[in-house]
Amino acid sequence: MEAKESKNFLKPIYFVLNEAGEITYFSLRFFRLIFKRPFEFSEFVRQCYYIGNKSLPLVAVTALIMGLVITIQSRPTLVEFGAEAWLPKMVSVSLVREIVPVITALICAGKIGSGIGAELGSMKVTEQIDAMEVSGTNPFKFLVVTRVLGTTLMIPVLTVLADAISLYGAYLGTNIRGVVSWNLFWNQVFDVLVYADIIPSLLKTFFFGFAIGIVGCYKGYNSQKGTEGVGISANSSVVISSLLVFVLDLIAVQITDLLGFT
In angstroms, the CA 197 to CA 195 distance is 5
Q: Is 128 in the site for another protein (CB under 8 A)?
A: yes
Task: In angstroms, give the least distance from the CB of 199 to another protein.
Answer: 36
In angstroms, the CA 193 to CA 166 distance is 14
Q: Is 222 in the site for another protein (CB under 8 A)?
A: no
In angstroms, the CA 221 to CA 121 distance is 6
Q: Are 215 and 244 in contact (CB under 8 A)?
A: yes
Our CB check for another protein shows the closer of 137 and 175 to be 137
Q: Is 57 in the site for another protein (CB under 8 A)?
A: no
Pairs from 33-37 (Cβ < 8 Å, separation ≥ 24)? 33/138, 33/140, 33/141, 33/145, 34/145, 34/149, 36/141
Our CB check for another protein shows the closer of 57 and 136 to be 136
In angstroms, the CA 198 to CA 194 distance is 7
In 3D, which of 35, 58, 64, 175 has the Cα closest to residue 108? 58
Task: In angstroms, give the least distance from the CB of 95 to another protein.
Answer: 36
Q: Is 127 in the site for another protein (CB under 8 A)?
A: yes
Our CB check for another protein shows the closer of 94 and 137 to be 137
In angstroms, the CA 118 to CA 221 distance is 9
Our CB check for another protein shows the closer of 50 and 206 to be 50
Chain residues 129-188 in contact with another protein, contact rule CB under 8 A: 130-138
Pairs from 243-252 (Cβ < 8 Å, separation ≥ 24)? 244/211, 244/212, 244/215, 245/102, 245/105, 245/106, 245/109, 245/208, 245/211, 245/212, 246/102, 248/204, 248/207, 248/208, 248/211, 249/98, 249/101, 249/102, 249/204, 249/208, 252/200, 252/203, 252/204, 252/207
Task: In angstroms, give the least distance from the CB of 247 to another protein.
Answer: 32
Name which position in 74, 92, 122, 241 contacts another protein (CB under 8 A): 122
Size of the site for another protein (CB under 8 A): 15
Task: In angstroms, give the least distance from the CB of 127 to another protein.
Answer: 4
Interface stretch with another protein, choices 122-130, 152-160, 194-202, 249-257 (CB under 8 A): 122-130
Our CB check for another protein shows the closer of 38 and 260 to be 38
Q: Is 126 in the site for another protein (CB under 8 A)?
A: yes
Task: In angstroms, give the least distance from the CB of 128 to another protein.
Answer: 5
Our CB check for another protein shows the closer of 7 and 36 to be 36
Task: In angstroms, give the least distance from the CB of 226 to another protein.
Answer: 11
Residues near another protein (CB under 8 A): 119, 122-123, 126-128, 130-138
